[in-house]
Structure 1
Amino acid sequence: MNAWGSLSSLHRLRYTMIQDPPSLLSRSGAGNLPASWIDEERIARAFRSISKHAHRALSNPGDSQGYLPLREQLQIKLRDIGIHTEASNIIVTSGAGDALSLIAQYYLHRPGEPVLVESPCQPLIVDRLMSCGLAVETVPRLSDGPDLEVMRQLCEQLRPKMFFCSSVLHNPTSSHLAPHKAFQLLRLAEEFDLTIVEDDSYGDLLPSSLSATVSRLAPLDQLNRVIYVGSFSKTLAAGLRVGYLAARADRIEWLTVYRLISTIASNSFAERVVHQLLSDGEYRHHCEQLQVRLDEVRPRVAAEARRLGLHIDGEPDAGMFLWADLGPGIDSLAVAQHLLTKGHLIAPGALFHDYKSSRVRLNLATTLDVGALEALARAVQSAPRP
């Protein structure tokens, strides 16, 4: 049996997305920016500065909530999007996934306890929740946010404690939560005593010119029923694992205690690197450059995808993904499995717990790699149809 013998095709794709082997010919299914989009010089300067001036501080485990100067910068960052909180109400984590796992493991103890997620949703959230023994129920994600009628029915039937969602640049669709629906969602949470975990991992890719057109839940709620999660791994570098969560004080107290049990030390070096990039304005400039590059490539990817027969329902106004449809009856997982044997990584809807199996997520930064869309078009043409 080879190394893949005991893995399902879906798990094989997940493994490949995470490991990103150099043997791949194209990576349109990748969830991160490619190396060519990373500002290596800015990060390298920060690394050199930290190595020179803070090497002694790295000999201790660090603050249980994360590097305080970074949390103070995060306080300013959150204030800029309308979340008014203190540095003491922020915990720095090893990426957004670590924050989501910490929340799930602490708050949801009872095996089989129901929890709600969107469908489609980011690839690993369902696996993380199921690994905690939770019963995951899905709420369809519409173009303007979750289907609140379905969500109300699930709340009435199951009385879940938490709902995990994204308001801005939702992964994989790059859609936003509509303002009217944001208020309705918060009223629903109040009615059913529901805590909302808002994952804003891709939010820094939203241009400031669009900020008035979107509605995050945490600024509206001011962390009463919402726990806010952010990340720098999606914008700086996948290997620089720094994320954070913000919550009201009583929740932070117990989350910090639980984090001490599960994680002895914080990632002090990476936290100091991110702090330096935030404090000197380099990070904001870097994100603005990414936004410009994504805006430039988005119409090109969309046009080429349509030319090759893919359907894109509502081209997004920002973000790094397109959510495309291969056509009626096409099994995108089978297509992805076939293409992986040819060295091409695509991301089928099944990775995102999507009920419509013909969809795929396209990474704008990698989809124009040589041969990526052409290989996908050929695979779709030869795929069996009902």
Structure 2
Amino acid sequence: MLDVVHEDEAGPTLVGRVMRAVRELVATRSAMPGARLPSIRRMAETQGVSKSTVVEAYDRLAAEGVVVSRPGSGFFVAGRMPVLRLAEAGPKLDRVIDPFWVARQSLETPAEVLKPGWGCLPDDWLPQEALRRAFRAMGRDASANLTAYGSPLGLPALRAHIARSLNERGIEVEPQAVVLADSDSVALDLVCRLLLRPGDTVMVDDPCYFNFQALLRAQRVDVVGVPVTPAGPDIERFAALAAEHRPRLYLSNAALQNPTGATLSSAVAHRLLQIAEAHDLTIVEDDTFGEFEVHPTPRLAALDGLRRVIHVGSFSKTVSAAARVGFVAARPDWVEELLDLKLATGFGNGDANAQIVHRVLTDGAYRRSIERLRTRLAGAMTLTLQRLKPLGLTPWIEPRAGMFLWAELPEGLDSAVLARRALERGVVLAPGNVFSVSQTAGRFLRFNVSQCAAPRIFEVLGEVMRG
């Protein structure tokens, strides 16, 4: 009988105990590169486990490159161990501040670095227990698809759930008009590949989510920014720019605009659709932050009926950033073309993550998780506003909900300079011009209030502001 304890059970596993013992031998130089490890029988006796446990531990270490297997001779410490270079593990202080800056610094710096500029929720704010239940349930479900290609449209059960949710928000859509993708960014990339050609013009908010700019740069199109107001894009400038540039697309957030937290008003939404109709403009609305709204605001896709609006979303902010699942809701002729493009570029998407996300969404605890998120974000917003005020930062608006706060620095300060200084002190800030097409947001910083709990963030911010 195997005595291997599964990884999702409480406490250290027996396999893990053997692996740690081997790592200690290597780390303390008790077993030098090339040295033979204790035999399976001897290690089993020493650790008080079965031989099958040792075999699994050795196999895992071999897969990681810590040890090597020599058939007929046993297991040996790998000949060369990788050397950790501290310079490579630290922040890239000399990196140019561009639309990739915040993402690269947040993803590449060590976990202990504070990241108020990053766009994700803390891990313990997400439904981790529901995720673990979903993984366990999928592992026990003999009907779960763990190996085969999925349908080009994506997992039917998840598409049906998304369609129901969209209908509840007034967006009338059938499951066959919902296409799954491997993230919100992949969904947007598919839409852009379908509708854009190099040299086309796309309008975005100014400021806008930095990855919109990065994505459009990859499409080799011209990007035009339209100023943002607390009620949405400046509608007069929007009309003038649409007439002047004849853009192919307008790309924006559906709710709680990133980075400002602005909320689209009904009047602006209706006027936007009139202008889009007059100039044959397609609108792509990204609804990634919609679940954070306490009182839902207008969705252009609901007002338009998906005629010239494409609705995109994901679950990275409410379920898991690791389970990469996004979706596109669009009119039928675009769906067919998206499917062909999806097959050509990625041969569909796997069902594994979609099954996990679907199980979490249909878990009875998910609704309560969203309610807790909204409450925690509201509290974090209030606390962040209180901490910024003594430093002289002024909120552009106080958002109705959500995770982002767009704040202006005192006269004479440059957010890019402050971001570099803060990075040297272990804090990742999000400087304004990362988000600005026109590069006119040099005195702004975006704060993710859910990542602003540590008082040190504001101590460092005060230090770098003082120079």
Q: In structure 1, what residue type is equivalent to 2:399?
A: P
AA in 2 matched with 1:351: V
CA contact (8 A) 1:27 1:369 kept: no
Instruction: Note if 1:274 corresponds to 2:357.
Output: yes
> Alignment partner for residue 449 of structure 2, among 359, 364, 384?
364
Match for residue 460 of structure 2 among 375, 380, 385 = 375
Identify which of 368, 382, 391 aligns with 1:285: 368
Aligned to 1:81: 169
Q: Distance in 1 between matches of 2:123 and 2:130?
A: 13
Distance 1:54 1:151, change over 3 A: farther
Task: Give, in whole Å, the separation in 2 of the partners of 1:371 and 1:47.
Answer: 36
Superposed, 1:1-386 pairs within 5 Å as: 4=92, 7-10=95-98, 11-19=100-108, 21-24=110-113, 26-54=114-142, 57-109=145-197, 111-207=198-294, 210-211=295-296, 214-353=297-436, 355-382=440-467
Q: Aligned pair in 2 of structure 1 residues 13, 280: CA closer, same or farther (>3 Å)?
A: closer
Cα deviation, residue 325, structure 1: 0.9
Rounded Cα–Cα distance in structure 2 between residues aligned with 1:55 and 1:339: 51
CA contact (8 A) 2:93 2:423 kept: no
Q: CA deviation at 1:23?
A: 4.0
Unaligned runs of 5+ in 1: none
Q: Give the partner amino acid of 2:360.
A: L
Distance in 2 between residues matched to 1:190 and 1:19, nearest whole Å:
43
Per mean C-alpha deviation after superposition, the further-off stretch among 276-285 and 192-201 is 276-285
> For structure 2, which runs of at least 5 residues remain unmatched after alignment?
1-86
Q: Match of 2:440, as an amino acid?
A: Y
Q: Secondary structure at the match of 1:365?
A: helix
> Number of residue pairs matched?
375
Once the two structures are TM-superposed, the CA of residue 49 in structure 1 deviates from its matched residue by 0.6
Q: CA–CA distance in 2 between the matches of 1:106 and 1:320?
A: 31
Post-superposition offset of 1:58:
2.0
What is the one-letter code of the residue matched to 1:59? T
Alpha-carbon distance between aligned partners in 1 of 2:358 and 2:407, rounded to the nearest angstrom: 37
Displacement of 1:283 after TM fit? 2.7
Cα shift at 1:56: 5.5
**TM-score relative to the length of structure 2:** 0.77
Aligned-partner Cα distance in 1 for 2:227–2:336: 33
What root-mean-square deviation, in Å, do the aligned CA atoms of Structure 1 and Structure 2 show?
1.6
How far, CA to CA, are the matches of 1:33 and 1:5 in structure 2?
Answer: 24
> Which digits, 9 at most, give the CA deviation of each residue in 1:187-241, with x for residues without a partner?
000000000000111111112xx12xx2111111111110001110012222121
Distance 1:17 1:238 in 2: 14
8 A Cα contact 2:342 2:348, kept in partner: no
One-letter amino acid matched to 2:417: A
Q: Does the 8 Å CA contact 1:9/1:337 hold for their aligned counterparts?
A: no
Give the whole-Å Cα distance in 2 for the aligned partners of 1:281 and 1:206: 20
**Counterpart Cα distance in 1 of 2:454 and 2:186:** 31
Is contact 1:61–1:265 with CA below 8 Å preserved after alignment? yes
1:102-128 superposed Cα distances (whole Å, 9 cap, x missing partner): 11111102x211111111111111111
Deviations 1:17-68 (A, max 9, x none): 23453141x1111100011212211110011111221576221110111101
Secondary structure of the 1:106 match is helix
Cα distance, 1:5–1:21 mapped onto 2, change above 3 Å:
closer
Deviates more, 1:195-204 or 1:144-153: 144-153
* In 1, Cα distance between equivalents of 2:289 and 2:336: 27
Normalised TM-score (structure 1): 0.93
